[in-house]
Structure 1
Amino acid sequence: MSATEPRTSEPPTGSWDDVRDLPPSAKLVAKVLEYNDTLTQSQLAEETLLPPRTVRYALNRLEEENVVHSRFSFSDARKRLYTLTVE
């Protein structure tokens, strides 16, 4: 981070327009996160009925577009929690 960049604790946010051109699996994962707030990858796979590999790909695409934020789980550091960050 350079001296000219402002420091913020908020993750960058995207918009639903950023999701529009993504694959259907990414759109489904985004919608499930919209209704469930914060979920792990395995919970997303259960909710969407998608294979874990597809959920992982969808999450990567959503993170590239800054519409999903991930953080480590405090209860189990091996897991990540995903939250939708759409304005």
Structure 2
Amino acid sequence: MSITEPTQVETADEPGWDAVADLPPSAKLVAKSLEYQGSQTQSQLAEETLLPARTVRYALSRLEDVGVVDSRFSFADARKRVYTLVIE
């Protein structure tokens, strides 16, 4: 009897964790933080991950490039953006 892992179905329009696999460790850490904590601002991500703000900015841009992170303006402060992971 063999144990198989559950498979995740991905469509061509939805990137999965495979898209994150080749990214730098900082991008993976930011993605995991978004997965566990939910939507966050850049400053919240920097505080949560203990990464410098510049590194978080770079990680977010890489995650946006591969289409696994979505951003929108914060309702509380329009100067800030809120980032959300779009992988399930």
Name the TM-score, length of structure 2 as normaliser.
0.83
Give 1:57 shift. Answer: 0.0
Q: How big is the shift at 1:14?
A: 1.8
1:74 match: secondary structure:
coil
> Equivalent residue for 2:69?
68
Q: 2:31 maps to what in 1?
A: 30
More relative contact order, 1 or 2 (CA 8 Å, 6+ apart): 1
Q: Does residue 77 of structure 1 match 2:71?
A: no
Q: Give, in angstroms, the shift of residue 13 of structure 1.
A: 3.6
Whole-Å separation in 2 of the counterparts to 1:83 and 1:13: 14
Name the counterpart of 1:42.
43
Q: How far 1:21 sits from its partner (Å)?
A: 0.2
Greater gyration radius? 2
Misfit runs of 4+, over 4 Å: none
Structure-1-length-normalised TM-score: 0.84
Residue number in structure 1 paired with 2:56:
55
Deviations 1:13-49 (A, max 9, x none): 4210000000000000000000011000000000000
Alignment gaps of 5+ in structure 2: 1-12
1:14 aligned partner:
15
Which structure 1 segments of 5+ residues have no match?
Answer: 1-11
Task: Write the distance in 1 (CA, Å) between the matches of 2:83 and 2:44.
Answer: 10
The two structures, once aligned, show a CA RMSD in angstroms of 1.0
